């Protein structure tokens, strides 16, 4: 029970490069990744970073070469923007949320705020245990440290927390009680980091208020101070907080947080629910499953409200699906056999990002075409004939004497409903033009590049009311909800 802690070395570890994170750096690192067509090419990346004055060269004596990438790539993996190169054998794999940022679908403030709020312990990126942490554990419990990973140790202690959610809720709780709505780094180090779960926040607030107005004090957790400074640097990148950025001695609620407190509080309440967390399992796919989860776009988690439109300074043009000219008058739909962007190795970890074609991404084909590709490959694997028309139809499939038409949309929580309406109109229009004067009708499907909660109203609306197939990403794998058995066989 709070404020007791399982061992004295408790902390919230984070990348040591938190101080250099900015929109320019994140955008530059992702752009550098795209230069390498999915393969690790440190020399190309380092040259790009240095030539564009993004990061210091970090010349290394051991290799006698510039190696900024070696040090700073962890910024991207820390926040779920690439899969850690330690688990991909140096292949560079951008996650869907990073690709959406590159597409211009997500603004920087939306991206960094979402990933900061969703960041949790335990997670599949923070798995290594330092010698000092092991000693702290052994001194506290008087037994050997016998965990395979740091994440396993945290899970064994019942730790399940989203730190930024806890920080925001603590500040907001202080604000509601008329207290100074800021927390010093000493208070973070002494009280906040003792929270093992987000449900500990109310007791944390009580302790902070008591310490401010009485002689009550708890012992500061000394391992936590550096990490608290790093977290303050990250929080300063979001519109939810502000601090004295030169000293990082406190963190406070921004005016934006006060103005949008009801909406932000609802987001935090959702992110406190156990079902919203990544769940630790001691499995071989532990690390992959973390990046599948954390790098995915999940419509169940709302985004901060009333943000600016996505920056026009995006890495490439927007989703190709939004650029196609609508068919205002009947025109011929010219179908071409579909050729996969890249072969899939069925023996490897299957996910949409594993077939992301970086070369094509620089020509305007991104998450939308990635989704088209994975659906098409699934259909080809089932023995179907697959076609497309770059001007209109995303996918036209012939399978067991039946026809299927699929419209694919890249979506975020802020544009989902608008693009859903557009997709419904498009796929019906394509079906009409392709089958004028015929009794034949295609089986219609809508595909989205994000996870749609099964409880969302749009699921029965699409599958029952419209009687269409619903395809979407769930942990970067293709999922289907459909009332049609043949559709489930084709896409499943």
What pLDDT, on the 0 to 100 scale, is given for residue 152?
94
- Mean of pLDDT values over 182-201: 96
Q: How confident is the model at residue 282 (pLDDT cuts 50, 70, 90)?
A: confident
Report d(CA 410, CA 412) in Å as an integer: 7
Strands 336-337 and 385-388 come out as antiparallel
Report d(CA 306, CA 414) in Å as an integer: 10
Token pair listed for 304: 């901060």
What pLDDT, on the 0 to 100 scale, is given for residue 284?
84
- Residue 128: is its pLDDT beyond 60? yes
- Mean of pLDDT values over 283-289: 90
Report d(CA 141, CA 477) in Å as an integer: 41
What pLDDT, on the 0 to 100 scale, is given for residue 373?
87
Q: How confident is the model at residue 347 (pLDDT cuts 50, 70, 90)?
A: very low
- Mean of pLDDT values over 74-98: 90
Q: How confident is the model at residue 271 (pLDDT cuts 50, 70, 90)?
A: very high
What pLDDT, on the 0 to 100 scale, is given for residue 235?
96
- Residue 341: is its pLDDT beyond 60? no
83-90 contact pairs (CB < 8 A, 24+) = 83/288, 83/291, 83/295, 83/353, 84/125, 84/287, 84/291, 85/40, 86/287, 87/287, 87/288, 87/291, 90/39, 90/40
Mean pLDDT of the chain: 86
187 close to 208: Cβ distance less than 8 angstroms: yes
| Backbone torsion region of residue 367, taken as left when φ is above 0, otherwise alpha when ψ lies between -120 and 50, otherwise beta | alpha
Instruction: Spell out a b/e string for 74-108, using b for 16 or more CB atoms within 10 Å of the CB, else e.
Output: bbbbbbbbbbbbebbeeebbbbbbbbbbbbbbbbb
Please state, as a whole number, how many other Cβ atoms lie within 10 Å of the Cβ of residue 203.
15
What pLDDT, on the 0 to 100 scale, is given for residue 241?
96
18 close to 30: Cβ distance less than 8 angstroms: no
- Residue 451: is its pLDDT beyond 90? yes
What pLDDT, on the 0 to 100 scale, is given for residue 331?
57
Lowest mean pLDDT among 42-56, 86-100, 265-279: 42-56
- Mean of pLDDT values over 200-216: 97
Domain ranges of the chain: 320-491
- Crossing angle between the packed helical segments 108-118 and 96-103, to the nearest 10 degrees: 160
3-state secondary structure (DSSP) of residue 145: coil
pTM of the entire structure?
0.87
H-helix or E-strand containing 234?
helix 225-235
CATH for 320-491 is 3.40.1350.10
Q: How confident is the model at residue 357 (pLDDT cuts 50, 70, 90)?
A: very low
More confident of the two residues 85 and 119: 119
- Mean of pLDDT values over 86-97: 86
Cβ-count burial of 153 within 10 angstroms (0-12 exposed, 13-18 middle, 19+ buried)? buried
What pLDDT, on the 0 to 100 scale, is given for residue 36?
72
What pLDDT, on the 0 to 100 scale, is given for residue 251?
96
- Predicted confidence (pLDDT) per residue in 146-160, tens digit: 999 999 999 999 999
- Mean of pLDDT values over 288-304: 94
- Residue 121: is its pLDDT beyond 90? yes
Sheet holding 241-242, edge to edge: 182-184, 250-253, 241-242
Token pair listed for 176: 């509601």
Distances (CA, A) of 105 to 10, 96, 163, 310, 450: 37, 11, 26, 6, 12
What pLDDT, on the 0 to 100 scale, is given for residue 72?
85
- Residue 352: is its pLDDT beyond 60? no
- Ordered DSSP codes for 269-316: HHHTSGGGS-----STTHHHHHHHHHTS-BTTSPPPTTPPPPPS--SS
394 close to 449: Cβ distance less than 8 angstroms: no
- Predicted confidence (pLDDT) per residue in 23-70, tens digit: 999 998 988 888 776 666 677 787 788 778 777 765 554 554 557 777
- Predicted confidence (pLDDT) per residue in 222-267, tens digit: 889 999 999 999 999 999 999 986 777 999 999 999 999 999 999 9
- Predicted confidence (pLDDT) per residue in 153-191, tens digit: 999 999 999 999 999 999 999 999 999 999 999 999 999
169 close to 201: Cβ distance less than 8 angstroms: yes
Cβ-count burial of 296 within 10 angstroms (0-12 exposed, 13-18 middle, 19+ buried)? buried
Sign of torsion, CA 104 107 110 111?
positive
Percent helix, strand, coil in the chain, to 5, is 45, 10, 45
Report d(CA 185, CA 163) in Å as an integer: 14
- Residue 314: is its pLDDT beyond 60? no
Share of the chain above pLDDT 90, in %: 61
- Mean of pLDDT values over 465-484: 94
More confident of the two residues 209 and 17: 209
More confident of the two residues 289 and 335: 289
What pLDDT, on the 0 to 100 scale, is given for residue 16?
87
- Residue 315: is its pLDDT beyond 80? no
């Amino acid at each position: 029970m709070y404020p007791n802690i399982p061992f004295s070395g408790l902390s919230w570890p984070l990348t040591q490069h938190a101080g250099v994170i900015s929109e320019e750096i994140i955008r530059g690192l992702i752009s550098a990744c795209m230069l390498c067509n999915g393969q690790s090419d440190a020399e190309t990346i380092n040259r790009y970073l240095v030539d564009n004055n993004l990061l210091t060269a970090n010349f290394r004596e051991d290799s006698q070469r510039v190696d900024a990438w070696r040090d700073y790539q962890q910024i991207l993996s820390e926040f779920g923007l690439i899969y850690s190169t330690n688990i991909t054998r140096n292949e560079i794999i951008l996650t869907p949320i990073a690709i959406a940022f590159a597409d211009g679908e997500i603004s920087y403030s939306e991206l960094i705020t979402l990933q900061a709020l969703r960041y949790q312990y335990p997670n599949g990126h923070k798995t290594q245990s330092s010698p000092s942490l092991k000693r702290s554990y052994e001194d506290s419990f008087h037994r050997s440290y016998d965990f395979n990973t740091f994440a396993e140790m945290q899970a064994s202690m019942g730790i399940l927390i989203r730190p930024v959610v806890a920080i925001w809720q603590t500040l907001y709780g202080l604000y509601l009680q008329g207290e100074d709505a800021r927390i010093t780094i000493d208070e973070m180090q002494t009280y906040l980091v003792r929270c093992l779960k987000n449900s500990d926040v109310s007791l944390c607030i009580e302790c902070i208020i008591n310490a401010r107005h009485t002689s009550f004090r708890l012992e500061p957790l000394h391992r936590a101070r550096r990490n608290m400074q790093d977290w303050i640097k990250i929080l300063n990148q979001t519109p939810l907080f502000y601090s004295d950025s030169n000293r990082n001695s406190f963190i406070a609620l921004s005016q934006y947080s006060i103005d949008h407190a009801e909406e932000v509080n609802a987001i935090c309440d959702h992110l406190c629910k156990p079902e919203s967390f990544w769940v630790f399992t001691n499995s071989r796919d532990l690390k992959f499953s973390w990046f599948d989860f954390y790098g995915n776009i999940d419509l169940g988690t709302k985004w901060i409200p009333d943000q600016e439109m996505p920056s026009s300074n995006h890495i490439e043009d927007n989703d190709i699906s939004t650029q196609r000219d609508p068919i205002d008058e009947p025109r011929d739909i010219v179908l071409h056999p579909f050729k996969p962007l890249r072969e899939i190795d069925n023996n490897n970890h299957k996910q949409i990002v594993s077939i992301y074609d970086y070369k094509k991404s620089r020509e305007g084909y991104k998450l939308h075409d990635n989704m088209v590709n994975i659906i098409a490959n699934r259909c080809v694997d089932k023995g179907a004939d697959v076609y497309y028309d770059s001007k209109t139809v995303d996918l036209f499939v012939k399978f067991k004497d039946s026809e299927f038409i699929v419209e694919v949309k890249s979506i975020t929580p802020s544009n989902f409903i608008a693009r859903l309406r557009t997709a419904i109109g498009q796929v019906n229009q394509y079906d009409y033009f392709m089958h004028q004067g015929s009794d034949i009708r295609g089986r219609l499907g809508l595909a989205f590049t994000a996870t749609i909660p099964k409880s969302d109203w749009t699921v029965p609306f699409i599958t029952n009311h419209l009687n269409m197939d619903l395809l979407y990403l769930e942990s970067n794998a293709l999922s289907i909800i459909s009332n049609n058995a043949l559709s489930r066989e084709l896409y499943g």
